[in-house]
Amino acid sequence: MTKKTKKVILITFACILAALLVATIVVPSVEKEESIQETMKDAVLHESNKVSLFGMEVNPGLISAFVITGILFVVALIIRIFVIPKFTIIPGKFQAMLEKLVGLFTGIAETNSPHRPNVLSAYIFVAAVYIFFSTLFEMFGIQAVTTNGTPVSLPAPLSDINGAIAMGGMTYLFILSGGIIANKARGAVNSLKDFSLPISMSFRLFGAMLSGLLVTELVYYVQALSYVLPLIVGVLFTLLHAFIQSYVLITLASIFYGEVTEPHVKKPKKGKNK
């Protein structure tokens, strides 16, 4: 590509951007049907914007969850069929990345729960993948039609309180079952001692995801803030907290799982000194 061609492309691109910018200012916006309070309340509670799922009214977050599962299923299937059979002893870049990913979670599980790392590593692998990609999902702004007939952009599934409760509760149940399998009644008691864990996990996840969603909603609500700023708020923050939330949940799950599955060692009785 010559310098002249490059210059032409750049100028064309700049012209298109300028035209779009002018158009967004000149073209009148549709009157907002709901106030910012209503928008934010709906983002938190999803009371008004429901989506129909086989005749059942559900929050858009649940639809997001199913869409993400579908996408991950297709990606996993492609990798399983076309990539994994071609694995070699000396890995290529993509194979190394996949192995690094699995190795990372195996390492975390072995560090935090050295006695029973196998199931834990699989669980935190799936949980981290789910949290990470479901958080990134909100960036794409895939639209769905509500039962009212209005469009709604599909949010991150975990910014729906039901999704966050499901994730937190499930993680707690996983820890509890690990404790029972490893240490029977003692493990169950150890897990039940941390009865606040499912609530804290659920609401931490919900709060963290929701804060990102609210900031994004706020930014997009005001037209003037829709230029450049979403690049930072929408993309960088989303990427960052997708990573952070995955890391926080898997770390907490690993630590608690490691604690409850640790084999009980009887303390030697002190001999009576006569």
Partner 1 sequence: MPLNIDWKQILLHIFNFVLLFAILFFLLYNPIKKFMDKRVQYYKDMDEDTKRRSSEADEMKEAYEQKLAQVDEEIAAKRKEAEEQEEKRRAEVEERTAEEVRSILDTARADAEAEKRKIIDSAQTEIVGLVTEACQKAISTNPSDAMDGFLKQANEDKND
Give the residues lining the site for partner 1 (CB under 8 A). 45-47, 56, 58-59, 62, 65-66, 68-69, 72-73, 76-77, 79-80, 84, 87, 89, 98-99, 102-103, 106, 122-123, 125-126, 129-130, 157, 160-163, 165-167, 169-170
For residues 66 and 227, which CB has a smaller minimum distance to partner 1 in the complex? 66
Shortest distance (Å) from residue 210 CB to partner 1 = 11
Q: Which is nearer to partner 1, 78 or 189 (CB)?
A: 78
Burial of 14 (0-12, 13-18, 19+ CB in 10 A): exposed
Shortest Å, Cβ 22 to partner 1: 41
Q: Which is nearer to partner 1, 161 or 182 (CB)?
A: 161
Q: How many Å apart are CA 50 and CA 42, to the nearest integer?
A: 10
| Distance in Å, CB of 44 to partner 1, minimum | 8
163 vs 234, which CB is nearer to partner 1? Answer: 163
Nearer to partner 1, 130 or 257 (CB): 130
CB of 37 to partner 1, least distance (A): 16
Query: Comparing C-alpha atoms, which of 73, 106, 261, 243 is closest to residue 174?
Result: 261
Closer Cβ to partner 1, 183 or 210, answer by number: 210
Minimum CB distance to partner 1, residue 59 (Å): 6
Minimum separation from the CB atom of position 211 to partner 1 (A): 16
Q: What are phi and psi of 184, to 5 degrees?
A: 55, -130
